[in-house]
Amino acid sequence: ARALLRIPASSAGRGGSLAQPPKDPLRHLRAREKRWSSELGAPGPSIVYVQVVAAGNRDSGAALYVFSDYNRYLFNLSLLLHFSYSIIQTFLFSGMILTLKETGLPKCVLSGPPQLRNYLEAIKVFSGPLKGIDLVVRPHTEPEYKDETMTVYQVPLVGEYGLRIGMVGSKGYLELQLEKEEQGYLLQRVGSRDPTLVVAFICKLHPKKGNFLVAKAKELGLPVGTAAIGPIIAALKDGKSVTFEGREILPEEVCTPPDPGPVFIVVECPHEGFVDAVCENDTFRRYQEGKAEGHVALVIHITPESVLRDSRYKQWLERFGPTTEHLILNENANTVHCLRSHKIQTQLNLIHSEIFPLLTSYQKEATFSVPVVRGECLLRYQLRPKPQWQRDVVAVCNSSEFVAEALKLPGFQDRVKECRESLQAGPVRSGEESNYPEIVFLGTGSAIPMKIRNVSSTLINSSSTQALLLDCGEGTFGQLCRHYGDQVDKILCNIAAVFVSHIHADHHTGLLNILLERQRAFASLGQPSSPLLLIAPTQIMSWLHQYHDNCQEILGHINMIPARFLVEGAKVNGPKAEALISPMLEKYDFAEFQTCEVRHCKNAFACSMEHTSGWKIVYSGDTMPCEALVRMGKDATLLIHEATLEDGLEEEAVEKTHSTTSQAIGVGMKMNAEFIMLNHFSQRYAKIPLFSADFSDKVGIAFDHMRVCFGDFVTIPKLIQPLKALFADEIVEMEERKEKRELRLLREAIVASEKLMDSENKASKSIAASKKREHAENHQEGPSKKLKTAN
Ligand SMILES: [Zn+2]
Ligand SMILES: [Zn+2]
């Protein structure tokens, strides 16, 4: 369902970053009042543009911002009413309303489907009462709405629900039906949504009178600058001719031509069941045939690719004619938010094309006989003064520029060349060696998702058809999309189990989205769905129950094995969990799957999986160096261990119950691991962590989207020199920081030892104090200073 949030003349909350966020949030409102009092009636707006806020990707949804000099609008905030009912999106929407409230916005008009009012009630459950902001709901049954900028007509579109979803296989169809029923159930509780109704918006800008050309008027001898000119200008701008000193002056002689006011249409066609409703709608047809007032300058289609390929929809789109622009927001869009990750991936790809594969996007775009523009984040279409696309604020993803930039870095090309030569000279990977298990690092940062490092998640593809997720931080699904593109549904179906190490937000909040998308993927591939096996601390269930009870039925899609049941020697209490364990081992060909408690927060676990063919992968989760992990991981083929902090920050590591680089490597050496991959880096090492002295040919550092198999163990350490060249600037900066810190420590130690001469008693106190200070300073480095949450 489409919803329009009209925000009278103020900055648009989160969208405020799109336009320059005004210092006085209500400046526009005051400016408008001034203008209105000085003139009679409203002149049409002089600046209007439509801007993409979210381009429609599966992980961000579609949303539009419309700017005029009088009003601001946001279209389609109701991501929650739309496809995916994840609680995160609820917070997103309610969070935005709260942001608007903070700007001191007095009034906000919400237009859209009938359930909006109920929906607002539901938001209050999550975000508390929305006092201080006047939220007016305008149901779709009100035919038109007029403000200073435009007239908005709502066009209700009634679709056929649950039919013709384009599914293959009877099982997939049934599955989809089931899913829809569940959604209906949810909607009744959250918003009583009528799932067969979406609302489209036809927006007609008010006409704008021509501008009075002063110089021309002077030339013609009009009394410019005197009181007599007022009525003359008014008449001319109204299109009337004027007789001045016996001479008739035509409006076009001294005014630019008036703008009758273009139309833009926002239409959503969520699936094939709505195609007829859109294509046979009489209101749209009148615009297509030029029988309605105003020329359609722009149609914004929030329409999935499968619908765009439908010949009925294609013809309907083309029927607007060659002078109408089309903007498409759907899962094929390019977004800006992953630009930095695209850049780094493009550059890493130069070092090794298989270990650092390029990110992919969706393919198979529908084609049209008229020009269509694909949504990009921040892309604008200006309707007034001059109709045109504006790309100046769109961040361009220019791969060749990224490549050129990297190649110019001192020493980079040489290091890459040396690395390649060394790999060719070294032992060649035999073609017979298995590509499985394949390890894909989806998130290698800690605490909060950042553009370069997302929060924890690692995908283990144990075979071409079986996969397992180790932790599942927020944004894991988006990372999967960027890594696998069109193949993402297949991978989702491969994921039979998820191991969640502990209940910190950077390790588990992506689970809901994975669950929901996985269900969708089964349906879309026409495969029978099976519940996801969740191996996690039991405490995760209260979070899942809360979601299940308040938002959406999900518990039916989960089978739970409490992580503590898999600790060596532990008793499995509960026949249900017991019955799940051996099928899980069988499914993955695992000889064993073990967990052990680690030294982090309460109920934090590491895990170890041993394959029947002999390999063993061990994952630490978050922990300080831990003996139980060393024992469990003995002789591991691969240890994936957290290395949140650099060497020298041992004290902070203890305080935050994490490991430093050398501690992580030490654990791997103790367990005699064949290879150690480090991950979960503090976001202060956004691009690359600091290398410590004990890096050996058994150690690698993980990057998001890095893809390795056991055969790559020889290669990975050889990548370090090119990596150092690529990130030389960052490394220098980090080393300087470290040096300064060490110097300061040294100085403080000297001061302290001098004082020791005077009084031993005093001196010991001083060291304690200086250490404390140092500690506090470390805390304020980098992004971590804002992080109060545990990770
Ligand atoms: Zn963490
Ligand atoms: Zn943690």
At residue 200, what is the residue type? Answer: A
CA geometry: angle 136, 137, 141, nearest 5 deg:
140
> For residue 385, is the peptide bond before it cis, meaning its omega torsion is within 30 degrees of 0?
yes
Ligand 2 center–CA 447 separation, angstroms: 8
| Ligand 1 mean position, distance from CA 527 (Å) | 34
| Distance in angstroms (rounded) separating the CA atoms of residues 82 and 76 | 9
Ligand with the closest atom to the CA of 598: 2
d(CA 300, CA 326) in angstroms, rounded, equals 6
73 and 8 in contact (C-beta within 8 Å)? no
Dist. CA 621 → ligand 1 center (Å): 7
Select the more confidently predicted residue: 60 or 656. 656
Residue 145 Cα, ligand 2 centroid: separation in angstroms? 50
Please give the distance, rounded to the nearest whole angstrom, from the Cα atom of residue 517 to the centre of ligand 2: 25
Find the mean pLDDT for residues 197-202.
82
Mean pLDDT value across residues 315-343: 83
Token duo for residue 753: 């030892």
Q: Dihedrals φ, ψ of 420, to 5°?
A: -65, -45
Q: Which pLDDT does position 136 carry in this prediction?
A: 64
How many whole angstroms separate alpha carbon 679 and alpha carbon 701? 6
Above 90 in pLDDT, residue 349?
A: yes
Range of lowest pLDDT (91-100, 182-191, 205-214): 182-191
pLDDT of residue 107: 59
Beta-carbon-side half-sphere exposure of residue 721 (alpha carbons within 13 Å)? 16
Compare 588 and 4 and report the one with higher pLDDT: 588
Taking residues 568-592, what's their average pLDDT? 91
Report how far ligand 2's centroid is from the alpha carbon of 88 (Å).
20
* Cα 319 to averaged position of ligand 1 atoms, centre (Å): 53
CA of 507 to the centre of ligand 1 (A): 6
Residue 152 clears pLDDT 70, i.e. is over it = yes
pLDDT score, position 131: 57
Q: Nearest bound ligand to CA 537?
A: 2
Q: Is the pLDDT assigned to residue 120 strictly greater than 80?
A: no
Expressed in angstroms and rounded, the spacing between residue 268 Cα and the centre of ligand 2 is 41
* Gap from CA of 692 to ligand 1 centroid (Å): 21
Say yes or no to pLDDT of 156 above 90: no
What confidence tier does 192 reach under pLDDT thresholds 50, 70, 90?
Answer: very low
| 504 CA to centre of ligand 1 in angstroms | 6
Give the closest ligand to the alpha carbon of residue 600.
Answer: 2
pTM, two decimal places: 0.67
Q: Ligand 2 center to residue 541 CA distance, Å?
A: 18
pLDDT at 705 over 90: yes
Cβ atoms of 334 and 374 within 8 Å: the answer is: yes
Q: What is the pLDDT of residues 502-548, one digit of tens each?
A: 999 889 988 988 998 898 889 889 999 999 999 999 999 988 887 77
- Is residue 87 scored above 50 in pLDDT? no
- When the pLDDT of each residue in the chain is averaged and rounded to a whole number, the result is 79
Phi, psi of 256, deg, nearest 5: -70, 155
Q: pLDDT higher for 345 or 764?
A: 345
Gap between the Cα atoms of 661 and 643, Å rounded: 5
Q: DSSP letter for 463, please.
A: S
- Alpha helices, H only, 249-398: 251-254, 275-279, 282-288, 305-308, 311-318, 339-351
pLDDT for residue 354: 94
- CA of residue 647 to ligand 1 center, whole Å: 18
Sorting pLDDT into bands at 50, 70 and 90, what band is 134?
Answer: low
Q: Contact at 8 Å (CB) between 23 and 76?
A: no
Q: Which ligand is nearest to the CA of 473?
A: 1
Q: Can you give the C-alpha Rg of the chain in angstroms?
A: 31
Distance 537 CA to ligand 1 centre (A): 15
Average pLDDT over residues 252-266: 89
Among 431-445, 563-577, 629-643, 747-761, whose mean pLDDT is lowest? 747-761
At 359-381, the pLDDT tens digits run: 876 555 678 888 899 888 889 99
Nearest-angstrom CA–CA distance, 450 and 447: 9
Instruction: Write down the pLDDT at residue 61.
Output: 67
- Burial label, 67 (beta-carbon count in 10 A; 0-12, 13-18, 19+): buried
pLDDT band at 670 (very low <50, low <70, confident <90, very high): very high
H/E stretch holding 419 reads helix 412-425
CA 602 / ligand 2 centre spacing (Å): 10
**Domains along the chain?**
43-160+193-207+260-335+375-390 (3.60.15.10), 214-253 (no CATH), 427-714 (3.60.15.10)
Ligand nearest to the CA of 455: 1
Distance 790 CA to ligand 1 centre (A): 7
* Comparison of pLDDT for 424 and 169, the residue scoring more: 424
Whether 63 shows a pLDDT value over 60: the answer reads: yes
**More confident: 778 or 492:** 492
Give the separation between CA 154 and CA 142, rounded to whole angstroms.
8
* % pLDDT > 90, the chain: 40
Closest CA to 714 of 427, 439, 438: 427
Local confidence band at 195 (pLDDT 50, 70, 90 cut-offs): low
Spatial separation of the C-alpha atoms in residues 507 and 514, rounded to whole Å: 13
Least confident window among 75-84, 205-214, 636-645: 75-84
Interatomic CA distance for residues 600 and 537, integer angstroms: 13
Looking at the predicted structure, is the pLDDT value of residue 553 above 50? yes
Six-digit token string for 293:
């007032």
pLDDT score recorded for residue 517: 84
Ligand nearest to the CA of 683: 1
What average pLDDT does range 303-320 have in this prediction? 90
Q: What is the whole-number distance in angstroms between the Cα of residue 125 and the centre of ligand 2? A: 29
3-class secondary structure, 314: helix
Q: Say how far apart CA 687 and CA 730 lie, in whole Å.
A: 8
Instruction: State the ligand closest to the CA atom of 643.
Output: 1
Indicate if the pLDDT at residue 1 is higher than 50. no
Q: Using pLDDT thresholds of 50, 70 and 90, give the confidence band for residue 196.
A: low
Long-range contacts of 128-133 (CB under 8 A, 24+ apart): 130/97, 130/98, 130/101, 132/101, 133/97, 133/100, 133/101, 133/105, 133/106, 133/107, 133/108
The predicted model gives 546-553 an average pLDDT of 69
What is the CA(791)–ligand 2 centre distance, in A?
3
pLDDT class of 417 with cuts at 50, 70, 90: very high
| pLDDT tens-digit readout, 215-246 | 888 888 888 888 888 888 888 888 888 888 88
